[in-house]
Amino acid sequence: MKHWLSILMIHFTSHPLILVMIITFLESLAMIGLFLPGIVLMSTIGTLIGKGQISFFTSWITSIIACSIGDYISYYIGWKFKKIIYRIKIFKKNIHLFHKIQYTLNKYSTFTILFGKFIGPTRPLIPMMSGMLQIPIKKFIFPSFMGCTIWPILYFMPGIITGMMIKDPHYTKKLFSHHFLISLIIFIIILLIYIFWKYKKYLIKKINNH
């Protein structure tokens, strides 16, 4: 795996957007993401951003698209090949983890799909298991997209800080006045929209029950 990653980094460093697309797609793809060091790869992209070799917003938008595609393909794989997946060796070996994910998906599907994106082992599994459990696609799309929107920012940030410090140690202040501040604002806005959306659904449900 390390040899494969080295080849990937060497061949696509001169085409960073392709590198962003491949990494974020594979990180979200069913099973494959289990074998990838997500924080290391995403931080590497962040370093390129911090050094000014690639645009922050271009990388972010590219990663959202690639991550979302990976999630939706994983969902389809889980929905279409459920019986085959249950027989896969890695699935049987990690059956306790799958049972925990299954329990949280059944009880808190929206929050599990959203926050599972930030945990390495669950990132490539939850979309697939959502399909296996036949969670309605309408219920899957929104939290999946939210996760794919926030996750890259958080995982890029350590690399961005490192890259900017390498480029210019005195440039770090601009990081907090530019990339970090904008990212934080975007994160807060998205979070507020999500909370408002959930609260609105809760109120509608409560009114209908009465």
> What's the pLDDT tens digit per position in 105-125?
888 888 888 888 888 778 888
pLDDT reading at 127 higher than 90: yes
Residue range 56-82, pLDDT digits in tens: 888 899 999 999 999 999 999 999 998
Mean pLDDT of the chain: 78
Structure tokens at 122: 């669950």
Kindly state the percentage of the chain with pLDDT values over 70. Answer: 72
Q: What is the pLDDT of residue 154?
A: 83
Buried b (16+ CB within 10 A) or exposed e, 38-54: beebbbbbbbbbbbeeb
